[in-house]
Amino acid sequence: MPNQNVTPEQQASDAPQSTARRTAVAELLSRVAPVADELGARFAAAGHELALVGGPVRDALLRRPTKDVDLTTDAPPDRILEIIDGWADAVWTIGIEFGTVGLRKGDHQLEVTTYRSESYDPKSRKPEVSYGTSLVEDLRRRDFAVNAMAARLPGYELVDPFGGLTDLRDRVIRTPGRPEDSFGDDPLRMLRAARFASQLGFAVAPDVVEAMTAMAGRIEIVSAERIRDELSKLVCGTHPREGLALLVDTGLAGQVLPELPKLRLEIDEHHRHKDVYEHSLIVLEQAIAQEEDGPDLVLRLAALLHDIGKPRTRRFEAGGRVSFHHHEVVGAKMTRKRLTALRYPKDVINDVSRLVELHLRFHGYGTGEWTDSAVRRYVRDAGPLLSRLHKLTRADCTTRNKRKADRLRRTYDELEARIARLAEEEELAAIRPEIDGNEIQEILGIRPGPLVGKAYRFLLDLRLDRGPIGKEAAAAELRRWAAEQDVTGE
């Protein structure tokens, strides 16, 4: 914690730092964007301050890669434009209403924002922004102490008035001032606390957790899009369980993703079923362990939400058993509704919902009783999601019974081998009828219309059931089908 007996300004300037330490910190920070120091000299020559600030400082000190280069200054936006004129290779002003000017210099993209403070009216979704003149006051308004550090330019002199460096060492998330004030200014910061717990693996300070719990209802004034973005970053973090658990424990999940805490089903001592909430978190972790090219948002959301239909479908059966019939169908509909409310893109909504719907399909495979036709349909129904469905299905095995787990793994290995064999023989991923729409019209003597689509679906089912049979045989089957349907040419 910073010394409470001196002002933040004194802490920023008087904190004892050895020359070696200052040099080491400056060297780390200079790696973010070497051109930033050059820009700092330009601002200084114009009589203005410039500092590298926030996430880039934090990540540099943690030796984490960062894509953002965020800078802050006492210069107002119009003055920023004057200073960078002739130096920047490109400039954009899309955020200038909020005091931000974007620019590109060589391979680096930077954003320069005027010192500011922002807060929310209790009934508004949009922040009120006002400009300031003090770097320390600008840092004071930021969400957490680990993000309330800056490096003055030129030279990369660290400014840390609220103990962010100590918090990085202790791996803790605190607010620069009272958490109630910080969350009152922007309720989204409550979700950001959980997101940083996920991304950094840091603990959240008890007073911050207490404020999140007390103020969870305030999140309702934040737009769905901002909530979605924070939730996606949380789910794609390195430690999503920690962030999600924090959302559930504080009541925030009940506001933004209510299906998640509802998985905490009461377990009657006379009825047996898994802890669905804990199971879902384990499935998420096991899905993550199978990722090959970094975080996969669609896979992670599907793993987290795959069982959200269980609370609505739970039935107590004779003999102490509990059933959840058709929970995958109900869950797919719930998933679509929730992701739509959170304004996720349509492709994400469709893919996650489809995976939830299909996640139980494998269990009909038994010990390999599926025909080749059933395997083809499994592949056809999964389509481009087949690889993700493989991972989700494997992740969904959380039994502690080693023999059962090994049996399920071997069975799915066998199914994947069959899929690979059929794919090699039949180009399974591109299954389509052996006769196209134009040929259907020619063979049956019909014009374009719904009947062509109906015939196409018949031929597709034929292809899935019997595999490749050749065009001649397919045409004969089409004529037989048309005769049964009493189809006549026009």
Please give the pLDDT value at position 337: 96
Please give the pLDDT value at position 398: 82
The C-alpha atoms of residue 410 and residue 82 are separated, in whole angstroms, by: 67
CB 330 within 8 A of CB 309: yes
The C-alpha atoms of residue 243 and residue 329 are separated, in whole angstroms, by: 28
pLDDT tens for each residue of the chain, 490 residues long: 444 333 444 444 444 456 766 777 777 787 777 888 899 999 999 999 999 999 899 998 998 888 888 999 999 999 999 999 999 999 998 888 888 999 999 888 999 999 986 555 556 556 566 787 889 999 998 999 999 999 999 988 999 999 999 999 999 999 999 999 999 989 999 999 999 999 999 999 999 999 999 999 999 999 999 999 999 999 999 999 999 999 999 999 999 999 999 998 755 443 444 688 999 999 999 999 999 988 999 999 999 999 999 988 888 777 778 778 789 899 999 999 999 999 999 999 999 999 999 998 887 777 667 888 888 888 888 888 999 999 999 998 887 778 888 888 888 888 888 888 877 765 555 567 778 888 888 888 888 878 888 888 888 888 777 777 788 888 888 888 888 877 655 4
What the block records as the tokens of 72 is: 């802050």
What the block records as the tokens of 137 is: 């006051």
Please give the pLDDT value at position 34: 83
Per the DSSP assignment, residues forming a β-bridge with 111 are 70, 102
Per the DSSP assignment, residues forming a β-bridge with 146 are none
Would you call the peptide bond into 311 cis, given omega within 30 degrees of 0 as the criterion?
no
End-to-end CA distance of the chain: 85
Our CA angle for 156, 160, 161, nearest 5°, is 140
> Of 302, 353, 350, which is closest to residue 332 (Cα–Cα)?
353
Cβ neighbors of 331 (< 8 A, separation 6 or more) are 305, 306, 307, 308, 309, 310, 356, 357
DSSP 321: B
> Of 351, 273, 357, which is closest to residue 309 (Cα–Cα)?
357
> Of 225, 234, 238, 266, which is closest to residue 253 (Cα–Cα)?
234
Per the DSSP assignment, residues forming a β-bridge with 100 are 113
Q: Are strands 108-114 and 100-105 parallel, antiparallel or unpaired?
A: antiparallel
Please give the pLDDT value at position 13: 43
Cβ neighbors of 104 (< 8 A, separation 6 or more) are 88, 89, 90, 91, 110
Q: Length of the chain in residues, anyone?
A: 490
Please give the pLDDT value at position 488: 59
SS3 state of residue 171: coil
The C-alpha atoms of residue 360 and residue 342 are separated, in whole angstroms, by: 26
What the block records as the tokens of 85 is: 């004129």
Q: DSSP labels for 67-110?
A: ---EEEESS-HHHHHHHHTTT-SEEE-TTGGGTEEEEEETTEEE
Q: Are strands 70-73 and 108-114 parallel, antiparallel or unpaired?
A: parallel
Please give the pLDDT value at position 6: 37
DSSP 216: G
> Of 178, 172, 215, which is closest to residue 193 (Cα–Cα)?
172
Report the amino acid identity of residue 412: Y
Q: DSSP labels for 218-244?
A: GGGGS-HHHHHHHHHHHHTSS-HHHHH
Please give the pLDDT value at position 132: 78
Residue 142 φ/ψ region, left for φ over 0, alpha for ψ in the -120 to 50 degree band, beta for the rest: beta
H or E stretch including 153?
strand 150-153
Cβ neighbors of 275 (< 8 A, separation 6 or more) are 264, 265, 267
The C-alpha atoms of residue 259 and residue 336 are separated, in whole angstroms, by: 12
Please give the pLDDT value at position 127: 58
CB 108 within 8 A of CB 91: no
Residue 20 burial (10 A CB sphere; 0-12, 13-18, 19+): exposed
